[in-house]
Amino acid sequence: MKQAFNFNAGPCVLPKQAIENTVKALYDFDNTGIGIAEISHRTPGWEKLMADTRQLWRDLLNIPAEYEVLFLGGGASTGFMDVPANLLNKKAAYLQTGVWAKKAAKEAKLFGETVIVASSEDKTYTYIPKGWTVPTEIRKDFNASEINNVMLVADMSSDIMSRPVDVKKYGLIYAGAQKNVGPAGVTVYIVKKDILGKITDRQYMNPLPTMVDFRTHAAEEAKNISMFNTPPVINIYMMYETLKWVKETVGGVEAMNKINVKKSAMLYEEIDRNSMFIGTAEKDSRSIMNHCFVMAPGREDLQDAFMAFAKERGMVGIKGHRSVGGFRASLYNACPIEAVEALVQCMQDFEKANK
Ligand SMILES: Cc1ncc(COP(=O)(O)O)c(C=O)c1O
């Protein structure tokens, strides 16, 4: 197979063992002789798989009993609507630290008063808005008391499972799976059950349609959790295998975080050292998942040349976001250290060739 170093922003590289085991399960799930996409989701084997996957989430992120873990279809973008539908009674505050947060806030406005408390949109989300200690990727857990005891909700699509999270500080965390925990098409919601069903004042979508109401999915009986309708079985199965890899092969989220910090530092070190490139995010706002850089001033004419140079050496997915240009290398959990070494080497070789 052709060697490719995959830096895609999501969907992105996934653990090889998760892919291999999912392929096996597509042929034969749980020694039934029937593939995962072909069985009924109401079989005991599948109900156990759902329970085991929830348990992996609980073990890895230390999720307290008063929270439910849901696996729903629709992507994180559906969460932009589902979350305010379930929680926005009067007013919501959004920290607009990226294009996704902007899209999320737009949906919230359909449900009630929505305030953008800080935004770094004026500089394409490359800095921490003043007056807030909120970087583009938050990388820490706020205390609700730091911000007037509000209920905290976070879209962690880009960094879930990359570091330990203090779940107790949140009312709800959600994430599309396709960066660190599996393929696109399933979204994880970690929700404190007692915050649900509290919409009293709202005119619109009150009562909630059945599928939108998280209480439908956070069912009393374990076998019905995330099973009101047919769940995206292949996606959840692959998530199960990906989480098993984090837990058993990597050794948990603390270990995962250490590897991620190391990979990220290697790349930023090269971006800062190399005379050809500069990083776009302010240093204290840097993400350890997504690394954005552009050609250094005076070197802009070499952008296409570097892209071709990198492509020739097997680098995939480093073209920058439309809004920023340049390059973006995503180093999600399953991105091996060898890929980062190859990219660093490629940047060094390019510098030598063009000095
Ligand atoms: C932070 C964040 N939120 C939401 C999304 C959208 O996710 P989906 O395509 O699953 O709707 C993305 C996708 O990259 C993202 O990075």
How far is Cα 346 from Cα 233, in angstroms, rounded to an integer?
39
| Whether pLDDT at 201 is above 90 | no
Instruction: State the alpha helices, DSSP H only, in 38-125.
Output: 44-61, 75-87, 99-108
Query: Which one of the listed residues 57, 82, 159, 179 is annotated catalytic?
Result: 179
What domains appear along the chain, each with residue ranges and CATH number? 16-250 (3.40.640.10), 252-354 (3.90.1150.10)
| Atom from ligand 1 closest to the CA of residue 77 | 11
Q: Between 227 and 322, whose confidence is greater?
A: 227
CA distance 285 to 263: 17
Active-site residue, 57 included: no
Please indicate whether residue 179 is annotated as part of the active site: yes
Q: What is the pLDDT of residue 134?
A: 35
Residue 106 in this model has a pLDDT that exceeds 90: yes
Atom of ligand 1 nearest to the CA of 176: 10
Kindly state the tokens that stand for 148. Answer: 């007037």
Which pLDDT tens digit goes with each residue over 307-340? 999 999 999 999 998 777 899 999 999 999 999 9
Of 77, 99, 134, which is best to mutate to test ligand 1, by the most ligand atoms within 8 angstroms of its C-beta?
77
Summary mean pLDDT of the chain: 93
Model pLDDT, residue 133: 42
Q: Does the pLDDT at position 255 exceed 70? A: yes
Question: What is the structure's pLDDT at 18?
Answer: 98
Question: pLDDT class for 82, splitting at 50, 70, 90?
Answer: very high
Taking CA atoms only, the protein residue closest to ligand 1 atom 1 is: 157
**Where does the pLDDT of residue 100 fall: very low under 50, low under 70, confident under 90, or very high at 90 and above?**
very high
> What is the whole-number distance in angstroms between the Cα of residue 351 and the centre of ligand 1?
34
- Residue whose CA lies nearest to ligand 1 atom number 5: 76
| Lining residues, ligand 1, CB within 6 Å | 10, 75-77, 100, 155, 157-158, 176, 184
Two tokens at 216? 């439908």
Ligand 1 mutation target, pool 157, 189, 321, 323, most atoms within 8 A of CB: 157
Atom of ligand 1 nearest to the CA of 187: 10
**pTM of this structure:** 0.95
- Whether residue 100 lies in the annotated active site: yes
Is the pLDDT reported for residue 141 higher than 90? Answer: no
CA dihedral 173, 179, 185, 190 (to 10 degrees): -20
**Are 266 and 291 within 8 A, CB to CB?**
no
pLDDT at 124 over 50: yes
- Mean of the pLDDT values across residues 7-26? 97
Question: Is the model's pLDDT at 24 over the cut of 70?
Answer: yes
With bands split at pLDDT 50, 70 and 90, how would you rate the model's confidence at 138? low
Q: What is the mean pLDDT of residues 248-261?
A: 98
